[in-house]
């Protein structure tokens, strides 16, 4: 719990401000209060979020006090970091729903019994106008426009709401409320973390150390991992899905993925060996990608889960077999409708009932794209004339894309 922990705790971060601040904090010789704020704006913890959560767990294992702040208030304001335009606001009900879904996932990485869990509505909802004025008086518009995203939008004539200017101040006030010694965040959060330092000085506290970690690029290889972009891997994804998604990672990102998801804490430097081997051609990208995918699956699903996921992936996708486990669902008889005196099966309604499409419009799109199969045969029409008894559908296996399957077990 002292300076001897410094090398391990520094492994991986993109930036520490001030540079020697972490050493100075550790020399205090007491458990430090290490803060991470997470806005619940999506339902899953991704491998991108897991990078900073695992760094937080490292501080926890070193004996420090982890303060996990669920930003149930700031999520309603909306973090403008990295955004080129004002983001839509979420309702309190949406935010609370996401928070409920995320909490159990956090405990897959953090020790629940050693985590101080707070919601920032606890102190932000209690701020009166005098409190808000004190926050706004502590910062200038010029300082806010030092942020790259704000500066770019201002230069391009894109609107920036006063609400967005408030976001860094509210996040910074979280550090005041919990008396943070250290705050963690992605490297796109550095400005917000530094605002926390300034506000702590304003309120007579010793300023926190800002420690950022690199952002994980999504499986598209272009933008940071994001649930809204669909380029993510969730830590709660089924092993087969997780393995399959990781195989979509571009070859050039294999070392980066290894470093941030597996080797980030200095226990191994395998990512550097892999990078060199890929560069000189002594290893094949496909071989290293599959090994990486197995190890990530093992990390979140237990030993040997990666090998089983790989075997299942090969069985289904290389050999064309059906998965060994297919969800079974009963469907309503309303998937059958009358059209001009003819009884037809509504494929879009059936896919929604089977959980293979989120909506009828989504189902129609995948049908038009020839992405649906029944018992291995392609289905592309929105409807089909159905002359047999309803029970003829029982036992049929429906597939959307490469990995989504469902079997009709009966009628609800």
Is residue 226 included in any domain, yes or no? no
- pLDDT per position as a tens digit, 253-272: 999 999 999 987 655 678 88
Is residue 301 included in any domain, yes or no? yes
At 84, the pLDDT band (50, 70, 90 cuts) reads very low
Structural domain boundaries, residue 362? 328-411
- pTM, two decimals, is 0.77
Instruction: Label each residue of the chain as H, E or C.
Output: CCHHHHHHHHCCCCEEECCCHHHHHHCCCCCCEEEEEECCCCCCCEHHHHHHHHHHHHHHHCCCEEEEEECCCHHHHCCCCCCCCCCCCCCHHHHHHHHHHHHHHHCCCCCHHHEEEEECHHHHCCCCHHHHHHHHHCCCHHHHCCCHHHHHHHHCCCCCCHHHHHHHHHHHHHHHHHCCCEEEEEHHHHHHHHHHHHHHHHCCCCCCEEEEECCCECCCCCCECCCCCCCCCECCCCHHHHHHHHCCCCHHHHHHHHHHHCCCCCCCCHHHHHHHHHHHCCCCHHHHHHHHHHHHHHHHHCCCHHHHHHHHHHHHHHCCCCCCCCCEEEECHHHEEEECCEEEEEHHHHHHHCCCCCCHHHHHHHHHCCCEEECCEEECCCEEECCCCHHHHCCCEEEECCCEEEEEEEEC
Is residue 220 included in any domain, yes or no? no
pLDDT of residue 82: 54
What mean pLDDT is predicted for residues 270-291? 91
Q: Residue 86 above 60 pLDDT?
A: no
- pLDDT per position as a tens digit, 147-184: 777 788 888 888 888 888 898 999 999 999 999 999 99
Which of 213, 229, 250 is at the close of a domain? 213
- Domain co-membership, 51 together with 183: yes
- Domain co-membership, 12 together with 137: yes
- Domain co-membership, 56 together with 141: yes
- Domain co-membership, 306 together with 207: no
- pLDDT per position as a tens digit, 14-23: 899 999 999 9
pLDDT of residue 266: 59
- pLDDT per position as a tens digit, 201-239: 999 999 999 999 999 999 999 999 998 888 899 999 989
Lowest mean pLDDT among 50-59, 123-132, 142-151, 155-164: 142-151
- Domain co-membership, 163 together with 297: no
- Domain co-membership, 256 together with 193: no
The total domain count for the chain is 3
- Domain co-membership, 193 together with 266: no
- Domain co-membership, 84 together with 164: yes
Is residue 232 included in any domain, yes or no? no
């Amino acid at each position: 719990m002292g300076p001897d922990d410094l090398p391990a705790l520094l492994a991986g971060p993109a930036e520490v401000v001030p540079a020697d601040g972490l050493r100075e904090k550790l020399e205090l010789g007491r458990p430090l209060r290490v803060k991470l704020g997470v806005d619940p704006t999506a339902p899953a913890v991704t491998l991108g979020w897991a990078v900073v959560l695992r760094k937080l767990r490292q501080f926890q294992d070193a004996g420090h006090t982890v303060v996990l702040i669920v930003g149930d208030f700031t999520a309603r304001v909306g973090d403008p970091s990295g955004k080129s335009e004002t983001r839509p606001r979420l309702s309190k009900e949406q935010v609370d729903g996401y928070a409920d879904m995320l909490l159990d996932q956090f405990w897959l990485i953090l020790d629940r019994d050693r985590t101080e869990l707070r919601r920032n509505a606890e102190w932000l909802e209690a701020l009166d106008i005098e409190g808000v004025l004190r926050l706004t008086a502590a910062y200038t518009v010029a300082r806010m426009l030092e942020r790259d995203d704000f500066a770019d939008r201002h230069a391009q004539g894109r609107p920036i709401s006063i609400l967005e200017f408030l976001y860094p101040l509210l996040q910074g006030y979280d550090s005041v409320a919990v008396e943070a010694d250290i705050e963690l965040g992605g490297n796109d959060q550095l400005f917000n973390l530094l605002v926390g330092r300034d506000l702590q000085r304003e309120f007579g506290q010793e300023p926190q150390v800002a420690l950022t970690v690199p952002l994980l690029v999504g499986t598209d290889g272009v933008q940071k991992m994001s649930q809204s972009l669909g380029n993510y891997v969730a830590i709660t994804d089924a092993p087969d899905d997780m393995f399959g998604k990781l195989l979509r990672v571009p070859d050039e990102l294999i070392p980066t993925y290894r470093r941030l998801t597996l080797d980030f804490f200095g226990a191994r430097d395998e990512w550097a060996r892999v990078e060199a081997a890929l560069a000189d051609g002594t290893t094949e990208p496909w071989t290293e990608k599959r090994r990486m995918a197995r190890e990530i699956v093992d990390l979140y699903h237990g030993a040997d889960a990666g090998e089983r996921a790989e075997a299942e992936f090969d069985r289904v996708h290389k050999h064309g077999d059906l998965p060994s486990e297919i969800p079974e669902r009963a469907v309503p008889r309303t998937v059958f409708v009358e059209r001009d005196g003819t009884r037809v099966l509504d494929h879009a309604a059936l896919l929604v009932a089977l959980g293979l499409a989120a909506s009828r419009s989504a189902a129609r799109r995948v049908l038009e794209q020839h992405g649906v199969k029944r018992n291995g045969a392609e289905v592309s029409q929105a409807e089909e004339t159905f002359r047999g008894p309803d029970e003829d559908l029982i036992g049929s296996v429906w597939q959307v894309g490469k990995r989504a399957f469902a079997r009709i077990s009966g009628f609800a």
